[in-house]
Structure 1
Amino acid sequence: MAQIRAVLTVAILASAAHPALARDMLVSDQAQFKSAVTKAQPGDAIILADGEWRDFQMVFTGTGTAEKPIALTAQTKGKVLLTGQSNLRIGGRHLLVSGLVFKNGASPTREVISFRRDSKTLATDSRVTEVVIDGFSKTDRRAEDIWVALYGTGNRVDHSHFGGKTNAGVTLAVIRRAGDPLDNRHRIDHNYFGPRPPLGSNGGETIRIGTSEESLSDSHTIVERNIFDRTSGEVEIVSVKSGGNIVRENLVLEAQGAFVLRHGNGNLIERNIFLGKGVPDTGGVRVINRDQVVRDNYFEGLAGTSFKSAVSVMNGVPNSVTNRYHQVANARIEGNSIIDSARITLAAGADAERSAAPTGSKFERNLIVGAKGQDPFRAEGEIGGIAFAGNVEARVAKPLLTAGIEQREIKLERAANGLLYPTDPAFAAVGAPRDLKPVTREEVGAGWYRGDAREAAFGTGSTVSLAAGASLAEAVAEAKAGDTLALATGTYDIAAPLTVQRRLTIASAKDAQPVLRVASRLARIAGGGGLRLANLAIDASAAPGDGALVAVEAGVAPNYSIAFDGVAVRGPGKGRIDGIAMAPGTFADDVTITNSDFAAMGVVVAATGEQEPKGWYPMERLTIGGSRFAGVAMVADLLRKGSDESTFGPWFAMTGSSVANSGAGGASLRISGAQHTDIAQNSFAKSDGIVVIHSVGAPETRIASNAFAATPAPRIEELMWKGPPRGRLIGNVVEARP
């Protein structure tokens, strides 16, 4: 018996000493993969053969060890593509996933990568590294999913690439549910979070740690040395909804929104670098709840205000329920540099409900240089509960705050790390530390992946000349992204709507005068394309029935663009056909109308398809300039419903335009729920008036220097605000109807 034990001992030791005994199992179809999972032992690697794996819903389970995890990887990193309706569920302990790419599809479920097999089998001490999820979005932006859902404890997501999410749902979420472990201790590091365009609703966070239900317990998750590049889904880039988390040494580039300590206590935000480059709504850190520490961060070029300020400290709700706003108490905001930034907002959001001012908090040793030499400080309520000490601000004429903030002349120079610091050594102890090391693009993401080039912009492709009478439908079908179809003088008959699947310009050739004669509709935008029309005429006088000349179909992938420049449109009569209409679930980055004429038609921009109360809206920006509208039902009817405050837009601007003999339902222009409205230097004659409806937040509305002849004065309505209508009405001239 002793001899047998000795032999077994030697065998075990030999096995431990020779990790080469671990197996590499190359699999080339889904059946082989499932079989390999059942056989895998600690140290084994399941290797997916290079190629496309379509409609593959992977379940990867097992129990490895810290020294010998069970691995799932690609035969060649970046050459295993998960497409169509694919996803991955991980359940067990010490599992390692690497080298996979999710692209050209979307998960059939609510998660792309889930750190659990099911509600009972979570992942523990497991890792996803060098994985790519690129544009793997559901086509209806309202259809919600999470790209990476972190359950369990001790898991890590690192050196991965996540970009191009356009539908609802968090890019990466730490899921904390009652009954599951809540002390998560996850690590999220060295990832590249690439561009995420505005969602046009709440639910577009890049990272969320927890939810309000379990927010008063600690997660202890670390988010460090990631890059957030134009991650502008909504106002919360990183939404912290739990306690005890650390968010440090991340680089935030031109990202609209802020890191938000939304729920939970005792979080640390330190040594992060925010570079806004003046992009609207770029922000820094928003503070809510107790015992939050915001220190040693660097903020530069941030243009956001209010909730999206470089630093905002919110007012709370007295005796707040879990999912509202707890009072700020014992916050420490210290050693930060806030440079060339528009706003620092204190007691942000103060109103009849949010009446609990910050208390027991400190704002110390911060360096402040406002944008354009202005004082960035704003107080929206009582700030006596914030103590100021040792701060230095670049001298301004009329500072809001003087106690604890010294006004000085400050000269800045860029250091070797690319950041600005005062040249005067007397300020060495103020502001962000000089040893900050911005994380580089080479340090993050999958080193072998950089993603596809962005789709070509209007006018950047080839120019294709078309003679009068040529088939415009064939030319559109054959065009590539960015191409321009240049039309000669003559008439081009459009018997059926043109299908536009990429960014395309249809324009007149030099000195030509083409006319598009539309039998029913002009075009339908499909597949996330975009259409620019320039210097041509559209004759829709014979178009029958209702509908729109340019229709964006349901299921079109966001984010498209439409532009009319130098276009003359004649419809069959007011109320018969609209100009541009968007189906629910679609979203435009921008719709632009310049130097154009519209006559005898319905609503030129019909943007009321989103009727859900969550705050959805159809486009981020609608811009109208130098255009003329005669006998139209409305210039635009733009709607954003709901009371959620998590969006940037819509933005609406109309300047230098004229409206005559127009209107329907009491308005020739109706803007409802926009966050930014600027209507200036326009003329309205014999028309219904302007109606601007405020629904949420603190919308900015300016109606200035317009002339209203035989047209009612502009009207602003408030749906939520209990005070007098807000907005600036400046220099308008109203001539009463005779």
Structure 2
Amino acid sequence: MRLINIIKLSLVLIGCSSTQLAAKDYFIDSKQAFKEISGDLVAGDKVTLKDGTWSDFEILLQGQGTKNAPISLSAQTKGKVILSGQSNLRLAGTYLKVSGLVFKNGYTPSSAVIEFRKNKNELATHSRVTQVVIDNYNNPDKRESDYWVALYGKHNRFDHSHLIGKRNKGVTVAVRLNSEQSQQNYHQIDHNFFGYRPTFGSNGGETLRIGTSHYSLSDSFTVVENNYFERTNGEVEIISVKSGKNQIRNNVFFESRGTLTLRHGNGNVIEENIFFGNGVDHTGGIRIINKDQIVRNNYLEGLTGYRFGSGFTVMNGVPNSPINRYHQVENATIENNTFVNVSHVQLAAGSDAERSAAPINSVMKNNLIINQNGEQPFTTFDDVSGIALTNNVANTTVLKELAYGVKKQNVTLSKASNGLLYPKSSKVKAGAKRGLKVLKKDDTGVSWYPKIAQVVEFDSGKTHQVKANVSDLLNAINNAQSGDVLALADGQYDVSKLIKISKALTIKAKNPGKAKLTYQRSTLFEIHDGGSLKLDGLVISGESAPDAIGNSVVRTQKWGMVDNYRFEIHNSQLIKLDINHSFHFFVTGKGAMADEITLTNNTFDNVTGDILRLNTEIEDLGIYNAEYVTIKGNKFNDVAGAVVKLYRGGSDESTFGPHLLISNNTLTNVGLGKRNKKQASVYAHGVQVSNITNNEFKKSAVIKIEHTVGEPKTAITNNKFDATKAPSVKELRVSGPHTAIIKNNNVLNKAG
């Protein structure tokens, strides 16, 4: 018997030895060399890519590795193998491992940059992609959708990777459940750094999605843990869970607009996540929909979001809901969470004629709610008796219907060693557990690739003195670095070339009002990808512009911008924009998205077109052209068009804006031109937040506001209307009177 066991052991050892002997190390220095070996890889093989830039390299790593002898592909030096152009990575087989690659300066030719499958039939299992970087690897058509990482198959892991700057449509990381081979997958997504994702301006900007509505009644069992989400602002859903039995835990959300949303699927567990909003607009927390969800021991601080982007939201559902709508909240457990300075906790949110199924059989217990400004955060939109509240503690008096389960108590908080605020008194038992782990940013992603800011602030670089001639100005623009300031000497600059702006630049007069720009092309400045522009103290005249229709002073490139941009103009004079009709000040191209457009303390005289044309997205798909538009302290005289035309159409509810602020301006003879089809001095369609205050309108066209989806907030207050009609506000999708606040306005000599 002992002899037989020895023989068996010998055979096993020989088998293991044979496997190891068969395994090879390949050092690959060309695409052809990889192609020659890629079809014959066996367990234990190691493929090393030579350092350098590999352009248009579509990598397919396939084969059957084993747990102890995976097939691996790695960089010669981590971070020194750059995949550029139209490159991607696919994995198919078992026990495959990829590490050390960087994708930048290009975009995927297929549906994903990294894909855990070869095709719909050949998937990856027990495979891992680790320590990879995807940096601004975006399709030049912003509306063309792709994933950066798509997980298929089962038991795969994506970890310790760095993903930053996704700007085109599509989920950054998607877990796909579109076949039985990818359901109940037990994937692991951990220790990744999800960096800045700019506001997308329509649906399709999620950072992580697990499943889709079509397969949302399937379970995924995906674990998402120890990831850092920094300013992932794409849309209202940062993480969109659309499947069941997932665990989202120990993640940090830092100044990220939007929420962790349990959009579809049942039985998910959300625990020990940390949300730091720091008072940033639209920072949100957790949104609950569906059955059997558990939300416990999470810490949420400084969140300002409201409605579907609130610090905490429990939704209403649709009775007998179709699979793609809103299923009723049932049997939710919400316990031991801490809310500090969270502006909005909304229960039965979204209640309307369709979403009429209030939450049922749910509990909200042992939560701590502290608002240091003394304002209670709760809003209820329907019957919330289906959420039983017990042993919750707040420092404010909450809504009457909730007071039975929320004890008002003065609670003093102190900061613990983990940086979180806890009650000083150990007698307060509500809230998240003490000693929560707060993940550090540096413990995620890779150590060999910098986590640098993606937005270069204006005036953050060097100041360059520019002599009063055009060649010096153009040379200074070409040679400047992003963030630099160009200070123009006194004099006139007659520019004969279109100035393309592809960096963040400030151009200002050294002595305000003493530097004058004229130009001979149809526009003076054109903003391109990477460009943002700030103008200050200049005189800009259209006197030398072509005698043609449709001139402008500033525009974005006409089509195809991927990067968001910023534009500001301050303390400047705009004159003689009237050489022909439809001479506009600022014109957006289709698909362009401004994070902010700001006009302060300027004077505009004799303009035959509009000041701001932000209305190119007319297909009503929820897309718009600017997130924040601020117009303060300006004088507009004899403007044939509108001061602003801002348009957001469609029924999508996944975005935050646009936001429009118009204050302390004087408008004289504005908006009455015969080519101004809206016959409005201000036209805002579908804008989510409008505040028009302390302005004076003289002999000007009416303000026209059109409310569409969402819960638009419009306030028109403390304005003077002289020979100008009172504002017009219409509800285009909801019956009944408009919801705008219109008060303390003075309407004199009302126009006819």
One-letter amino acid of the counterpart of residue 144, structure 2: A
Q: Distance in 2 between matches of 1:650 and 1:308?
A: 15
Give 1:119's aligned residue.
120
1:581 is the counterpart of 2:569: no
The residue that corresponds to 2:423 in the other structure is 422
- How far did residue 43 of structure 1 move? 0.9
Give the alignment of 1:488-637 within 5 angstroms. 488-510=489-511, 513-520=514-521, 521-543=523-545, 544-553=548-557, 554-570=559-575, 571-572=577-578, 575-601=581-607, 602-632=609-639, 633-637=641-645
CA contact (8 A) 2:19 2:43 kept: no
SS at match of 1:90: strand
CA distance in 1, matches of 2:401, 2:544: 62
1:164-179 matches, cutoff 5 A? 164-179=165-180
User: Which amino acid letter does the alignment assign opposite residue 560 of structure 2?
Assistant: G
**How do 1:395-406 residues align onto structure 2 when only pairs under 5 Å count?**
395-396=396-397, 401-406=402-407
Indicate the SS of the match to 2:476. Answer: helix
1:666-718 CA distance string (max 9 Å, x none): 20110111111111101111111111111111111111111111111111111
**Equivalent residue for 1:136?**
137
Instruction: Confirm whether residue 160 of structure 1 aligns to residue 167 of structure 2.
Output: no
Secondary structure, aligned partner of 1:117? coil
Match of 2:266 in 1: 265
Give the Cα separation in 2 of the matches to 1:491 and 1:398: 63
- Quick check: 1:727 aligned with 2:737? no
Structure 2 CA distance for aligned equivalents of residues 512 and 715 of structure 1: 37
Measured in 2, the distance between the counterparts of 1:206 and 1:397 equals: 34
1:308 Cα offset (Å): 1.5
Question: Which residue of structure 2 aligns with residue 737 of structure 1?
Answer: 751
Does 2:700 align with 1:695? no
CA contact (8 A) 2:19 2:44 kept: no
> 2:8 & 2:179 partners in 1: Cα distance?
49
Amino acid at match of 1:380: F
Give me the whole-angstrom Cα distance separating, in 2, the residues matched to 1:97 and 1:182. 23
More displaced 10-residue stretch of structure 1: 156-165 or 662-671: 662-671
1:234 is matched with 235
Q: Tell which deviates more after alignment, 246-255 or 6-15.
A: 6-15
Shift of 1:22: 3.4
- Counterpart of 1:717 in structure 2 is 730
What is the match of residue 463 of structure 1?
463
> Structure 2: how far apart are the matches of 1:87 and 1:18?
30
Measured in 2, the distance between the counterparts of 1:709 and 1:542 equals 35
Change (3 A) 1:582 1:140: farther
Superposed displacement of residue 490, structure 1:
1.3
**Cα distance in 1 for residues equivalent to 2:635 and 2:580:** 15
Determine the structure 2 residue equivalent to 1:437. Answer: 437
Amino acid at match of 1:737: A
Mapped contact 1:654–1:678 kept (Cα < 8 A): yes
- Partner amino acid for 1:383? V
Q: Structure 1 residues 712 and 511, CA, compared in 2 at 3 Å: closer, same or farther?
A: closer
The alpha-carbon deviation at position 214 of structure 1 amounts to 0.7
Q: CA deviation at 1:596?
A: 0.7
What CA RMSD, in Å, does the superposition of the two structures yield over aligned residues?
2.0
* Shift in CA distance, 459/20, structure 1 to aligned 2, threshold 3 Å: farther
Structure 1 stretch displaced more, 520-529 or 372-381: 520-529
What amino acid maps onto 2:660 in structure 1? F
Counterpart CA distance in 2 for 1:105 and 1:462 is 30
C-alpha distance 21-722 of structure 1, shift in aligned 2 (>3 A): same
Judged with a 3 Å threshold, the aligned counterparts in structure 2 of structure 1 residues 7 and 714 are, in CA distance, closer, same or farther, namely closer
Cα distance in 2 for partners of 1:310, 1:303 equals: 7
Task: Return the offset for 1:52.
Answer: 0.4
Work out whether residues 513 and 539 of structure 2, in 8 Å CA contact, stay in contact via their aligned partners in 1.
Answer: no
Which residue pairs with 2:674 in the alignment? none
CA shift for structure 1 position 458: 1.6
Q: How far does residue 574 in structure 1 lie from its aligned partner after superposition?
A: 7.9
Shift of 1:583: 1.2
User: Does 2:665 match 1:657?
Assistant: yes
Q: Is the 8 A contact 2:389 2:402 kept in 1?
A: no
Give the conservation status (yes or no) of the 8 Å contact 2:552–2:583: yes
Q: Distance in 2 between matches of 1:200 and 1:455?
A: 17
Q: Secondary structure at the match of 1:121?
A: coil
Percent identity between the aligned chains?
44
Report the secondary structure of 2:670's partner residue. Answer: coil
Distance 1:14 1:116 in 2: 29
For residues 431-452 of structure 1, the C-alpha deviation after alignment (integer angstroms, 9 at most, x for no partner) is: 1001211111232111222245
* Structure 2 unaligned spans of 5+: 672-676
Could you tell me how far apart the structure 2 residues matched to 1:23 and 1:179 are? 34
- Alpha-carbon displacement from aligned partner over 1:180-203 (angstroms, at most 9, x marks no partner): 431111110111111111100111
Where in structure 2 are the equivalents of 1:174-185 lying within 5 Å? 174-185=175-186
SS class of match (2:571): strand
Quick one: structure 1 residues 442 and 482, their matched pair in 2 at CA, closer, same or farther if it must change by over 3 Å? closer
The one-letter code matched in structure 2 to 1:561 is R
> Residue 517 of structure 1: SS of its match in structure 2?
strand
Distance in 2 separating the partners of 1:510 and 1:381: 59
- Give the drift of 1:8: 12
Deviation at 1:41, TM superposition (A): 1.2
Tell me what 1:369 maps to.
Answer: 370
Q: CA deviation at 1:370?
A: 2.3
Note the alpha carbon deviations across 1:412-467, whole angstroms, 9 max, x for none: 1111111111112211x311001211111232111222245545322222222222
Conserved? CA contact 1:284–1:311, under 8 Å: yes
More deviation, 508-517/453-462 = 453-462
1:43-122 map, 5 Å: 43-122=44-123
CA distance in 1 between counterparts of 2:304 and 2:296 reads 20
Per-residue Cα deviation, 1:604-650 (whole angstroms, up to 9, x for no partner): 11011112322111111111110111122110101111111100111
CA distance in 1, matches of 2:21, 2:732: 69
Report how far residue 61 of structure 1 moved.
1.1
TM-score (norm 1): 0.96
Structure 1 gaps of 5+ residues are: none
In the TM superposition, residue 68 of structure 1 has moved relative to its aligned partner by 0.8
The alpha carbon displacement at 1:7 in A equals 12
Give the whole-Å Cα distance in 2 for the aligned partners of 1:148 and 1:7: 44
Of 690, 694, 699 in structure 2, the residue corresponding to residue 681 of structure 1 is 694
Amino acid at match of 1:551: R
The alignment partner of 2:379 has SS state of strand
AA aligned opposite 1:618 = N
SS in structure 2 at match of 1:569 = strand
1:28-84 Cα shifts (integer Å, max 9, x gaps): 111111122123211111111001011111111111011111001100001001111
1:620 counterpart letter in structure 2: E
Paired with 2:275 and 2:595, the residues of 1 have a C-alpha distance of: 24
Counterpart in the other structure of 2:650: 642
Contact preservation (8 Å) 1:375, 1:400: no
Q: Which residue of 2 aligns with 1:203?
A: 204
Instruction: Report if aligned partners of 1:562, 1:590 keep a CA contact under 8 Å in 2.
Output: yes
Distance 1:397 1:70, change over 3 A: closer
CA distance in 1, matches of 2:132, 2:117: 17
Q: How many residues align?
A: 735
For the Cα contact (< 8 Å) 1:476–1:499, is it kept in 2?
A: no
Contact 1:621–1:652 (Cα < 8 Å) also in 2: yes
TM score, norm. by length of structure 2: 0.95
Q: How many Å apart are 1:564 and its aligned residue?
A: 0.6
443-452 or 123-132, which deviates more: 443-452
Q: Aligned partners of 1:727, 1:636: CA distance in 2, in Å?
A: 19
CA distance in 2, matches of 1:216, 1:453: 39
